[in-house]
Amino acid sequence: MDWPESLVAEIAERRCIIFLGAGASAGCVDPATGNRPPGWEQLLRDALATVRDPDINPLVEAMLTKEQYLDAAEVVFSRIEPADARNFFRSRFYTPHYEKSEIHELVLELDPKIVITTNYDEIYDDYCAGGAARDGYSVRRYYEDNVLDEIRSTARLVLKAHGCITDTSRMVLTRSQYFHARAKHQGFFSILESLFLVNTLLFVGYGLADPDISLVLESAQLSMPSRHPHYALMASGRHEAVTKSMRDTYNVRILDYDAPGGDHSQALVALRELRDLVNSYRATYT
C-alpha cells in the first residue's frame, strides 16, 4: 500500500479521525460458538426470520437484493415489538463474547484522539477500556449531552454515531430512526460536521453507504471545499466512475487493496504498514 505521506503525518500528529465500520468487527469471533457479528444484510435477514408475517417476505427480499437496507429495516421492525427487538439485538451483539480483531488492535496502536463508529457492538470500546491506558478513554453516544466536553478534553474518545447495544431503543437502523436522530440531536450532527471540516478522516471497514455520514460529508464539502482529502481503505473492484464520484462529492480518496474471493487479509497488511510508518514518524518528529 502506498500510504500518502500527508495522511501518515496527520495520524501521527493526531489530526486524523479514524472511522470504524462493520468490516472492522467482521473478523471478530465468539470462541464459544464460532459466530461473528452480523453485517447489515445478515442482521435484517435474521430479524425477518423472527417475523410471523410471511406476506412481507417477498417485499423485504426484493429490498435486500437491491441493497435498500433502510427500507427493509423499516418494514421488518415495524412487525417486531420493542421488547422483542431488544432481545433480538442483544442476542446478536451483547450476549456473544466476541474477541477483538487485529483491526481493533492496529487502530488502538495508531492512537488517534477520536474514533467514530456506526457499529452497535462494544468490541472496540471494551478493548480500549481493558488496556493499560483504560482511564484515558471515553465512550459517548450521539444522544449524550457532554460529547463536546469530551472532545475538548485530553481523553481519547470513541463516538458511537448510531448508538450502542447498551440502549437498543436508541440504536439507529431504520429510515425513520435516522430522521428522528438527526431532528432530535442536531447538536451532535453539527459537531460531527465540524469534525469532518477540520480533521482528516480515515475510513476502515466502511462502505460509505450510510446516509447520515454521507450527508455530513457532502455538507462539509459544499460548505468549505478543501484540497486535502479524506481517505477510505476499501477493497478494489468498483468502477472508476464511482471512485471519481466519491472524490468529487465527499472529498474521499479511495485507497484500494486486493480482496480476491472476499479475502481481506491485504487490508491487515496495509494497516500494519501504516502503523509502522506512523510509529516511525512519531519517533522522528514528535
pLDDT at 169: 94
What pLDDT shows up at residue 130?
A: 81
Of 178, 149, 147, 146, give the one whose Cα is nearest residue 162.
178
Sign (positive or negative) of CA dihedral 89, 90, 94, 97:
negative
- Give me the pLDDT at residue 134, please: 62
Class of the 5-29+99-285 domain?
alpha beta
- pLDDT, residue 136, reads 84
Among 151, 142, 145, 217, smallest CA distance to 182 is for 142
Beta partners for residue 17, in sequence order = 201
pLDDT value of position 105: 95
Give the pLDDT of residue 53. 87
- At 126 the pLDDT is 92
Maximum separation of any 2 CA atoms in the chain, in Å: 63
Helix axes 40-48, 57-65, angle to 10 degrees: 170
With 0-12 CB in 10 A as exposed, 13-18 as middle and 19+ as buried, what is 45? Answer: middle
Q: Where in the chain is the domain with CATH 3.40.50.1220?
A: 5-29+99-285
Q: What is the pLDDT of residue 276?
A: 97
Query: What pLDDT score does 232 carry?
Result: 93
How far apart CA 51 and CA 70 sit, in angstroms, is 17
Compute mean pLDDT per 10 residues along the chain, 286 residues long, and list them. Answer: 94 95 91 92 94 91 90 94 95 93 95 94 91 77 94 94 94 92 93 92 84 75 81 90 87 91 92 97 91
